[in-house]
Structure 1
Amino acid sequence: MARNHKKSAEKKTPLIEVVDLFCGIGGLSYGLKSQGLKIKAGYDLDYTCEYAYHHNNDAEFRYEDIRKVTAEEINNTYSKGAIRVLAGCAPCQPFSSYAFKNKNKDPNKYSLLDEFGRLVEEVQPDIVTMENVPQILKFKLEHVFQRFVETLEHNEYNVSYKVVFCPDYGIPQTRKRLVLLASKKGKIELIPPTHTAEDYVTVKDVIGGLPALEAGERDPNDALHKARALTPLNLQRIKATPANGSWTDWPKELQLKCHKRKSGKTFGSVYGRMDWNKPAPTMTTQCTGLGNGRFGHPEQDRAISLREAALIQTFPKNYQFFIDERSVSTTLASRYIGNAVPPKLGEVIGMSIKKFLNQ
């Protein structure tokens, strides 16, 4: 009798299935998958992402405009009886800091979050998660984020959201992201931070053991561990940059004209070296270029390699970005990596969903 009682008391893990909107190469999906969530499909309008998404997430890639996706199509993707998760990160460029300065805004780009809201309303998934840049909270153009939250609340979702400082969750870069979770089954929240400033994951923790490279060189054993070539002048500049330094440490003859203007002081990190003992700056689509931020290697005279950028974004070494990695496009790979949701952040979201369902 006791044995039967024990068996009946055991919790059966529910089948949790995910459809990922704006999936890119699958950083969010991969993190959710690592927590046991079943990824059913990802949608994106960048067809070049198909191989990486499908290969690493064992899920269907659907090259479709989100405006044309129907609730019937998504609902037919889920298995009967599964906990249905609708996830996504609407392209964040419209809500970035640059968007506040750009007066020639494309109104079509701002409708993507509305389309996410439309699909929530029509599909009625059990759980919704959305990730984006924190600036979306302040974005006044038609109050896009507020309208998304109101759509969820109108459809009887419990909504929570917070700005996440990524090092607090073991992600080795000072990226800040807005993470939203919503459920019809009760109050759902992101798990508490897993790290403090005393044990943040650092640049050295992540890339300190990789083989050394010269600018323009590629590791023969790792096609992604390759660094962009530098002009003779930029090679002089990186050599003149001390540990944790930037262009402000150069002699005047190496400085650009823009650096000598008063406004140049606001770009103190440009051409800078990363700090071994701190998290890296936010990885962007241009993070493998020396002059695009503090993307210089802490010691070696070059910008960080594609592999280093991928590891800082928490992609594992076995994540395959191209069908043939002997021929890697630096521009394409940089875009993939910079646009991605860090898989580790997806993992944290997956842990939060599982914790909520187990309660």
Structure 2
Amino acid sequence: MKITAVDIFCGIGGLSYGFKQEGIEVVAGFDSDPSCKFAFEANVGGTFNDVDVKALTGAKLKKFLAKDGFRVLIGCAPCQPFSSYTKRYRKKVNNSKQDTRWQLLTEFARLVKETKPDVVSMENVPSLVAHPIFQQFVDQLKALGYHVTYARLRAERYGVPQRRTRLVVFASRFGAIEIPKETHAAKPVTVREAIGKLPRIKAGEACSTDRIHFGRGLSPINLKRIQATREGGSWKDWDEELQLKCHKKQKGKSFRSVYGRMRWNEPSPVITTQCLGIGNGRFGHPLQDRGISIREAALLQSFPKKFLFAPAEQPINQLVLARQIGNAVPVRLGRVIARAIKGHLKAASKNARAAA
């Protein structure tokens, strides 16, 4: 049974790499960020295409979709517009400025219509379902003859060492794809299990054997702050002289996670593009007096150690890697999605043979 896939909004290939690990060949990826090219091609093996999805035509996409076997189109439209969606914005749904904010999902639907793959899968933030464009997307797929299923999947319940809830959509021409059953609901993978065996490093120090295991430097005041923070704690652990002015205001009391440390025996919080800064969330190492390293962020996103993020001869740009890793679909979640599709297509192939 031959299955080939193409990844729209591929980034460095977290989703695609998960598909590769499940034996599904991802022949091409499309993304408007050229900095992702090396990692995608070096690890996934498909062709990276630096192109804005709005300029991508179905004709070009079809060149990569195999004519034989099953054809799969996957992707994760950038989620910033959807994650900032609020009740207040919902009341302004008729605001004409909204049209361009949701255009990427519309473009995804257009490409599905122009290429008609056998299976489509999209991953995004859960709040997307609250916006009318999501139902429009689902209705468009159904109108094209697809059977659509979707659910909010909690990544930590599928073996990702991170609390990250994502909306996963499946659409198939052969029937409904079952939502994957949880595998780690009772015993999630912890921060300790994911990063606990890495060499100890200090803030501003690089590991001698792993160049992306680097502790970002801290100012003297921030070093004192992280030293004053207990495991799982935050700025609320500090003496008053260490607190920022905003923390002392009434509205600042709601920022409970900033300058926080992770907990060893729990999954991490969501790894974001800003995960290297201790002031951006609970991104402090559970025990060591520093923020997490790029390597630790990658492992918490379930990227394996063998994944290559940059050419050996190229200096590491921590901020670029943090953005790429934070934007990625966790690899293990990609595997879960791929496994569901593979099982579905195996059954469809068996049914087709039985009917012949």
Tell me whether the two structures share a fold, i.e. TM-score over 0.5.
yes
Q: Which moved more, 1:43-52 or 1:258-267?
A: 258-267
SS of match in other structure, 2:168? strand
2:139: which partner in 1? 150
- Post-superposition offset of 1:100: 6.7
- Post-superposition offset of 1:245: 0.9
Correspondences of 1:38-77 after superposition (within 5 Å) = 38-77=25-64
SS of match in other structure, 1:276? coil
**142, 156, 165: which is aligned to 2:154?**
165
Residues 327 and 174 from structure 1, CA distance in 2 versus in 1: closer, same or farther, beyond 3 angstroms? same
- Post-superposition offset of 1:65: 1.5
- Post-superposition offset of 1:358: 2.1
2:69: which partner in 1? 82
2:102: which partner in 1? 110
Match for 1:47: what amino acid?
P
Match for 1:183: what amino acid?
S
Residues 101 and 325 from structure 1, CA distance in 2 versus in 1: closer, same or farther, beyond 3 angstroms? farther
Q: Deviations over 1:281-326 (max 9, x none)?
A: 0000001111000000000000000000000000011111111366
Correspondences of 1:186-197 after superposition (within 5 Å) = 186-197=175-186
Residues 308 and 299 from structure 1, CA distance in 2 versus in 1: closer, same or farther, beyond 3 angstroms? same
- Post-superposition offset of 1:80: 2.3
Give 5+ residue unaligned stretches, structure 1: 1-13
Alpha-carbon distance between aligned partners in 2 of 1:210 and 1:109, rounded to the nearest angstrom? 41
Alpha-carbon distance between aligned partners in 2 of 1:94 and 1:329, rounded to the nearest angstrom? 26
SS of match in other structure, 2:102? helix
Residues 220 and 106 from structure 1, CA distance in 2 versus in 1: closer, same or farther, beyond 3 angstroms? farther
SS of match in other structure, 1:179? strand
- Post-superposition offset of 1:278: 0.2
- Post-superposition offset of 1:157: 0.4
Alpha-carbon distance between aligned partners in 2 of 1:191 and 1:136, rounded to the nearest angstrom? 20
1:261: which partner in 2? 249
Match for 2:290: what amino acid?
R
**218, 236, 245: which is aligned to 1:230?**
218
1:223–1:325 Cα contact (<8 Å) kept: no
Correspondences of 1:193-204 after superposition (within 5 Å) = 193-197=182-186, 199-204=187-192
Match for 1:351: what amino acid?
R
Alpha-carbon distance between aligned partners in 1 of 2:87 and 2:336, rounded to the nearest angstrom? 30
SS of match in other structure, 1:85? strand
Alpha-carbon distance between aligned partners in 1 of 2:202 and 2:108, rounded to the nearest angstrom? 44
SS of match in other structure, 1:112? helix
Residues 223 and 98 from structure 1, CA distance in 2 versus in 1: closer, same or farther, beyond 3 angstroms? farther
Alpha-carbon distance between aligned partners in 2 of 1:108 and 1:306, rounded to the nearest angstrom? 33
- Post-superposition offset of 1:179: 0.3
**321, 332, 343: which is aligned to 2:320?**
332
2:354: which partner in 1? none
- Post-superposition offset of 1:78: 2.0
1:128: which partner in 2? 120
Match for 2:305: what amino acid?
K
CA RMSD, Structure 1 to Structure 2 (Å): 1.5
Residues 273 and 291 from structure 1, CA distance in 2 versus in 1: closer, same or farther, beyond 3 angstroms? same
1:93–1:99 Cα contact (<8 Å) kept: no
1:224–1:325 Cα contact (<8 Å) kept: no
Q: Which moved more, 1:251-260 or 1:99-108?
A: 99-108
Q: Deviations over 1:254-296 (max 9, x none)?
A: 0011111111121111101100000000000001111000000
Q: Given the two structures, how large is their TM-score scaled by the length of structure 1?
A: 0.92
Alpha-carbon distance between aligned partners in 1 of 2:45 and 2:231, rounded to the nearest angstrom? 42
Sequence identity, in percent? 51
Alpha-carbon distance between aligned partners in 1 of 2:85 and 2:226, rounded to the nearest angstrom? 27
Give 5+ residue unaligned stretches, structure 2: 348-356
